[in-house]
A = this chain, B = another copy of it.
Amino acid sequence: MKVDRRPYRRESEDSRREALISATQSLVAEGGPRAATVRAIADRAGVTPGLIRHYFGSKDELSRAAYRQLMDGMTDKGSEALAELGAAAPARLAVFVAAALRPPVVDGAAVGLWAGYLHMVRADPGLQAAHEAGYLRYRDTLEGLIRDLARPDITPAQTRAEAIACNAVIDGLWLEGGVLPHLFTSGELVRIGLTSVGAILGVNLLNEQSFVPELSLASLG
């Protein structure tokens, strides 16, 4: 009594790694990290479990790769939204903030993955350095946008403190929006984010909505 054997299919290394990482992320997104077993991952990637060990030394290493890809994607989202427009400083800041507070950045799966690896980040110095670099890269971008506002009589130290505060607001909103999406109406996170960042900096960012196509009035709750 023979069970049918999976047809042998040879594919590129990039394609296989991508499929495995993608399968890991989607499984964690749906059923939490406990659902992301080697067998489930391999099954979804259309592959047998052995390949995980072949491409990544172990399941943990695959998980780490998935985490790294998640972080890279999130930090890039804001910059991408920025690159397209050369508008005035307040509008650029508004775009950057808004990008972090709506899908695909605000996402339960992203929060879940991020939180799941937080303790590993605390334990592993290498990952901690990477995490810190990512955090500072984001905050520095924010600080640059704040500096570009060219408000008079603002010291560098104050700009730094403001960047920390704005970053915290964004982080907090991103977090709760991802974990408890049903508590916030559509567009509410963006509106609250722009309002409070504006309040912290003493500028009005809500009027900058018109500069952002995706942030039309219709998309606000």
Binding site for B on A (CB under 8 A): 29, 31-35, 108-109, 111-112, 115-116, 118-124, 128, 131-132, 135-136, 161, 164-165, 167-173, 175-176, 179-180, 183-184, 188, 191-193, 195-196, 199-200, 202
| Contact B123 A32, beta carbon cutoff 8 Å | yes
Residue ID in chain B nearest A109 by CB atoms: B122
List the B side residues contacting A164 at CB < 8 Å. Answer: 173, 176, 184, 188, 192
C-alpha gap A184/B132 in the complex (Å): 12
The prevalent SS among residues of A at the interface is: helix
List the B side residues contacting A183 at CB < 8 Å. Answer: 132, 136
Q: How many copies of this chain sit in the oligomeric assembly?
A: 2
Distance in angstroms from A60 CB to nearest chain B CB is 11
List the B side residues contacting A199 at CB < 8 Å. Answer: 199-200, 202
C-alpha gap A179/B192 in the complex (Å): 25
With A135-B176, A176-B171, A200-B199: A118-B123 Cβ-Cβ less than 8 Å = no
7 nearest CB pairs, A to B: A32-B123, A168-B172, A115-B118, A171-B172, A165-B196, A172-B172, A116-B119
C-alpha gap A131/B122 in the complex (Å): 22
| Contact A31 B171, beta carbon cutoff 8 Å | no
C-alpha gap A202/B128 in the complex (Å): 36
